[in-house]
Amino acid sequence: MSATVLEQSVLGSRRLSNFLVAAAVSIGGIGFLLASLSSYLGYDVLPFGHPATLIFVPQGLVMGLYSIAAVLLASYLWYVIAVDVGSGSNRFDKSTGVVTINRRGFRRPLSIEFPLRDVRAVKLEVRDGFNARRRVSLRIQGRRDMSLTRVGEPLPLAQLEQDGAELARFLGVNLESL
């Protein structure tokens, strides 16, 4: 961090949890496909269980449909991981007076720029429970609040407070919390 520029990197979809979910869906889809093939062919293709004893219509057919759904979902998950959707940076430049927020999207990069003078406050939002939310966002004049933190796993409270305080101190604005 220099005196005039603060740049923060944002983690995208290349997280361990996403890799584990994509791998589990892929393995499950292969398992359903092999069970469906075993049912159709009449002998066990899977090294465990006895899916050849299943009647192809309707049980083997439904397992084949499950395998197609799993392959489509796994393809989507692996694509999101490969592209690293959501990764990017937040850049606050006092010398030019511009805030630049860059993120990777599905098809193309997204970039938002607005004047630094429009930033009214740094807001910390903490909501625990089933749909937990912990994020740092900017209060911008004439716009909705702009979230700066990653999507997915909530940040630890200490990290959230430290990031928010550092940003508010750098920008010279108030730190708000809910």
Q: What is the dihedral of CA 15, 20, 21, 22, to 10 degrees?
A: 90
Domain-located, residue 43 = yes
Domain-located, residue 70 = yes
Asked whether residue 113 falls in the same domain as residue 136, the answer is yes
Domain-located, residue 28 = yes
Asked whether residue 45 falls in the same domain as residue 109, the answer is no
Final residue of a domain: which of 27, 62, 83? Answer: 83
- pLDDT: which is higher, 87 or 128: 87
Asked whether residue 99 falls in the same domain as residue 124, the answer is yes
Asked whether residue 100 falls in the same domain as residue 154, the answer is yes
84: left (phi over 0), alpha (psi -120 to 50) or beta: left
- pLDDT: which is higher, 71 or 159: 71
Cα separations in angstroms, 57 against 36, 40, 53, 54: 10, 9, 12, 9
Asked whether residue 106 falls in the same domain as residue 63, the answer is no
Asked whether residue 75 falls in the same domain as residue 92, the answer is no
- State the residue range of the domain holding 59: 16-83
Domain-located, residue 130 = yes
User: 74 falls in which pLDDT band (50, 70, 90)?
Assistant: very high
pLDDT tens-place string over residues 13-59: 999 999 999 999 999 999 999 999 999 999 999 888 888 898 998 99
Q: What angle do CA 20, 22, 23 make, to 5 degrees?
A: 65
Question: Domain count of the chain?
Answer: 2
Positive or negative CA dihedral for 147, 148, 154, 158? negative
Domain-located, residue 9 = no
pLDDT tens-place string over residues 89-107: 999 999 999 999 999 998 8
Asked whether residue 106 falls in the same domain as residue 61, the answer is no
Final residue of a domain: which of 32, 48, 83? Answer: 83
pLDDT (average), residues 120-128: 90
User: 131 falls in which pLDDT band (50, 70, 90)?
Assistant: confident
Domain-located, residue 3 = no
Asked whether residue 110 falls in the same domain as residue 126, the answer is yes
Give the bridge partners for 88, in sequence order: 10, 103
Give the CATH number for residue 91. Answer: 2.30.29
| 8-state DSSP, 178 | -
Beta carbons within 8 Å of 87's beta carbon, 6+ residues apart: 9, 10, 11, 12, 13, 14, 103, 104
Asked whether residue 79 falls in the same domain as residue 95, the answer is no
Cα distance between residue 115 and residue 53, in whole Å? 68
Domain-located, residue 10 = no
Asked whether residue 164 falls in the same domain as residue 93, the answer is yes
Final residue of a domain: which of 59, 83, 107? Answer: 83
Give residue 1's pLDDT.
56
